[in-house]
Amino acid sequence: MKSIKKYTEPPFWDNIIDNEPICHSLTKNFKYIQKEVLRLNKLSNIFFTNYPVLRLNLKKNEHYFVDSNVGWKISPFFGGRYDVNVKRRSPFFVLWQSDILAYIIRLLCPKTTKLLRKAFKEKIILNAYFTKLSPGSTIKPHYHPISKGIHRMNIHLGIICDPDCKITVGEETRTWEEGKILAFKNSGPYRHSVEHKGTKNRIILIVEFDVKYLEKYGVFKGERIINEVL
How many domains are there within the chain? 1
Instruction: Decide if 105 contacts 96 (C-beta within 8 A).
Output: no
Distances (CA, A) of 176 to 63, 81, 156, 180, 184: 26, 25, 8, 7, 13
Q: Is the pLDDT of residue 140 over 50?
A: yes
CATH at residue 163: 2.60.120.330
Q: Is the pLDDT of residue 226 over 50?
A: no
Query: What is the separation of C-alpha 78 from the centre of its chain, rounded to a whole number of angstroms?
Result: 13
Q: Does residue 6 sit within a domain?
A: no
Q: Does residue 159 sit within a domain?
A: yes
Whole-angstrom distance, CA of residue 138 vs CA of residue 196: 6
Instruction: Decide if 124 contacts 213 (C-beta within 8 A).
Output: yes
Average pLDDT value for residue range 12-17: 85
Please give the radius of gyration of the chain, using alpha carbons only, rounded to the nearest integer.
17
Q: Does residue 146 sit within a domain?
A: yes
**AA letter at 3:** S
% of the chain at pLDDT higher than 90: 35
Average predicted confidence (pLDDT) for the chain: 77
Q: Does residue 220 sit within a domain?
A: no
Q: Does residue 8 sit within a domain?
A: no
Highest mean pLDDT out of 125-129, 131-135, 163-167, 213-217: 163-167
Q: Rounded to 5 degrees, what angle do the CA atoms 156, 189, 7 make?
A: 120
pLDDT digits (tens, 9 = 90+) for 190-213: 889 999 999 999 999 999 888 776
Q: Does residue 226 sit within a domain?
A: no
How many beta carbons lie within 10 A of that of residue 114, not counting itself?
Answer: 15
Domain hosting 104: range is 20-215
Q: Does residue 90 sit within a domain?
A: yes
